[in-house]
Amino acid sequence: MEFDVGAGVTGFSGAAAWAANGGSASTSPRLVGFGVELLDAANNVIASDSFNGVLNGIAVSSFAQMALAPGHYTLVATGIALRDTVLDVSLTFSGVTAPVPEPETWALLIAGLGLMAAARRRRSSAAPRTSPN
């Protein structure tokens, strides 16, 4: 799987889960030598998963939180499938910030508020004044 990371993303973590064996019908493994690696644009391995173990027939591995710079990345799953299986991989990106308004946006906001204040002042000065009795 290929993906691009933009400015504002500072890191990621992830996990993979797959059926480890056939349950009561078979206890042989479904995948052998399984691993997940994250490659940068030059195809250098920058992260590899860590196997966490098997629970109720589901094997789990994970990526620890790590720094990630903007760029193009490829997530690669490797291994030998002995039988059919399902692989679920999830990535969580951190450091995503809300967009900052452009200077032109701020200028338009301030100009609009100024025009509203001027219109209000003009209306209040044009209204007939009554003198107190």
Query: pLDDT by residue (tens digit) across 47-100?
Result: 888 888 888 888 888 888 888 888 999 999 888 877 777 788 888 888 866 677
At residue 130, the pLDDT reads 65
| 103 within some domain | no
Of the candidates 12, 14, 13, 2, the residue with the CA atom closest to the CA atom of residue 88: 14
Q: What's the rounded Cα separation, in Å, for the pair 12 and 9?
A: 8
Residues 32, 42: Cα–Cα separation, whole Å? 27
Residue 60 inside a domain? The answer is: yes
Cut 0.75: pTM above it: no
| Number of domains forming the structure of the chain | 1
Give the domain range for residue 39: 2-94
> Would residue 74 count as lying in a domain?
yes
SS3 assignment, position 113: helix
Indicate the helix (H) or strand (E) that contains 77: strand 71-81
Task: Give the pLDDT confidence score for residue 8 in this predicted structure.
Answer: 81
Is 57 contained in some domain?
A: yes
E-assigned strands of 43-111?
45-48, 50-55, 58-67, 71-81, 87-94
Q: Name which residue leads in pLDDT, 95 or 116.
A: 116
